[in-house]
């Protein structure tokens, strides 16, 4: 059976996306201990709500919603995890842009790397606000993925300027083409605070995750091993339904020549990286831009 979209994303490395100290701080700042009910939109395997549940007021009620039936089906292990943290858990199938819940249902609504996949993130934010109770908090963890093309590593550090620009151009065309296909904006995190303001949320605050996964030989920490496993299984931020070629075609036929030239020129860069890792020559600080954006629904 072909892999579903989500399997690409759900390697063990997702367990290393946040530093515990940062989450402790955020839980305090966002008063998570005052929130009983949590809705995780685009929950996948609930990696995100599993991190948040220990901070919630008890008893807690966690609902996960996903439009992929695979994740909306109840998983006994996930349920047991929440049970251990004194939280009832319910899995629901549904669309982030038309949430099947009544107005004013949850103390907190959250998502992690969901808005980068939806065709209309403003609509999803409006829906998440609708189902929040007055006084409740919307919390979105969304990245800018484009910056990854400018994160230096020991191989790219000496690339000439034209090559660096080619990598940025390639990633940007993919990002724009994906958006044009209605598959979301990979760097929408930059725009989420403005979208929350437009939706009428108050007290909007933006933080950056302090997580980096530095890679350096001999790559033997748990998180480095998990990241390497993820890298070897393919792109970490592109669905399997569409290829880069589809994104280029959607962006404009005139860019297809650049696509061909790029593939011919840089097609072996994955092997080069693999070899450098095997030779223990690859290293990078492993930075990323992951925003944590919160807003409050005004009490009526």
Ligand X SMILES: C[S@@+](CC[C@H](N)C(=O)[O-])C[C@H]1O[C@@H](n2cnc3c(N)ncnc32)[C@H](O)[C@@H]1O
Task: Considering the complex, state which of residue 166 and residue 185 has its C-beta at the smaller distance from ligand X.
Answer: 185
Task: Considering the complex, state which of residue 97 and residue 209 has its C-beta at the smaller distance from ligand X.
Answer: 97
Any contact of residue 13 with ligand X (CB under 6 A)? Answer: no
CB of 180 closer than 8 Å to CB of 250: yes
Cα distance between residue 7 and residue 1, in whole Å: 12
CB 7, min distance to ligand X, A:
10
Pairing of strands 202-208, 289-296: antiparallel
Distance of CA 34 to the CA centre of its chain: 25
Paired tokens of 293:
């954006």
Read off the DSSP letter of residue 36.
Answer: -
CB 193, min distance to ligand X, A:
19
Whether the ω angle into residue 113 lies within 30 degrees of 0, i.e. cis, is no
Task: Considering the complex, state which of residue 39 and residue 196 has its C-beta at the smaller distance from ligand X.
Answer: 39
Task: Considering the complex, state which of residue 37 and residue 186 has its C-beta at the smaller distance from ligand X.
Answer: 186
Task: Considering the complex, state which of residue 224 and residue 238 has its C-beta at the smaller distance from ligand X.
Answer: 238
CB 228, min distance to ligand X, A:
19
Widest Cα–Cα separation across the chain: 62
How much of the chain is in helix, strand and coil states, percent to nearest 5? 45, 20, 35
Task: Considering the complex, state which of residue 37 and residue 238 has its C-beta at the smaller distance from ligand X.
Answer: 238
Binding span for ligand X by CB under 6 A among 22-30, 43-51, 161-169, 189-197: 43-51
CB 118, min distance to ligand X, A:
5
Task: Considering the complex, state which of residue 114 and residue 201 has its C-beta at the smaller distance from ligand X.
Answer: 114
Any contact of residue 6 with ligand X (CB under 6 A)? Answer: yes
Cα distance between residue 219 and residue 259, in whole Å: 33
Give how many residues touch ligand X by CB under 6 A: 20
First vs last C-alpha separation in the chain: 50
Any contact of residue 43 with ligand X (CB under 6 A)? Answer: yes
Any contact of residue 171 with ligand X (CB under 6 A)? Answer: no
Q: What is the DSSP string of 140-204?
A: EEEEE-GGGGG---TTGGG--HHHHHHHHHHHHHHHHHHHHTTS--TTGGGGHHHHHHHTT-EEE
Paired tokens of 48:
């995100």
Q: Annotate each residue in 80-119 with x if it binds ligand X (CB under 6 A) or - if it does not, as one string.
A: ---------------xxx--------------xxx--xx-
Could you give the dihedral angle defined by the CA atoms of residues 177, 183, 184 and 186, in that order, rounded to the nearest 10 degrees?
-60
Binding span for ligand X by CB under 6 A among 40-48, 82-90, 158-166, 185-193: 40-48
Q: What is the contact surface with ligand X in residues (CB under 6 A)?
A: 6, 9, 14, 42-44, 47-48, 66-68, 71, 95-97, 112-114, 117-118
């Amino acid at each position: 059976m072909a892999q579903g979209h989500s399997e690409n994303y759900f390697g063990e490395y997702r367990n290393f996306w946040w530093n515990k100290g940062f989450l402790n701080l955020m839980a305090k700042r966002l008063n998570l201990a005052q929130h009983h009910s949590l809705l995780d939109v685009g929950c996948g395997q609930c990696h995100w709500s599993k991190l948040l549940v220990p901070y919630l007021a008890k008893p807690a009620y966690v609902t996960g919603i996903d439009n992929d039936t695979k994740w909306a089906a109840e998983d006994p292990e996930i349920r047991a995890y929440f049970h251990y943290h004194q939280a009832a858990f319910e899995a629901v199938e549904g669309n982030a842009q038309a949430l099947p819940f009544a107005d004013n249902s949850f103390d907190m609504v959250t998502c992690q790397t969901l808005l980068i996949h939806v065709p209309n993130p403003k609509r999803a934010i409006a829906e998440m606000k609708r189902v929040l109770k007055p006084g409740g908090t919307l919390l979105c963890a969304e990245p800018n993925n484009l910056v990854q093309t400018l994160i230096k590593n020991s191989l790219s550090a000496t690339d000439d300027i034209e090559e660096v620009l080619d990598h940025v151009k390639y990633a940007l065309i993919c990002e724009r083409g994906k958006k044009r296909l209605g598959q979301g904006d990979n760097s929408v995190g930059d725009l989420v605070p403005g979208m929350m303001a437009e939706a009428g949320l108050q007290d909007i605050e933006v933080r950056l995750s302090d997580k980096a996964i530095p890679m350096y030989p001999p790559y033997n920490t748990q998180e480095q091993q998990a990241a390497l496993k993820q890298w070897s299984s393919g792109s970490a931020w592109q669905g399997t339904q569409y290829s880069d070629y589809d994104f280029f075609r959607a962006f404009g036929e005139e860019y297809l020549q650049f696509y061909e030239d790029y593939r011919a020129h840089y097609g072996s860069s994955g092997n080069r990286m693999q070899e450098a890792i095997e030779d223990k020559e690859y290293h990078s600080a492993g930075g990323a831009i992951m925003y944590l954006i919160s807003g409050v629904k005004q009490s009526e």
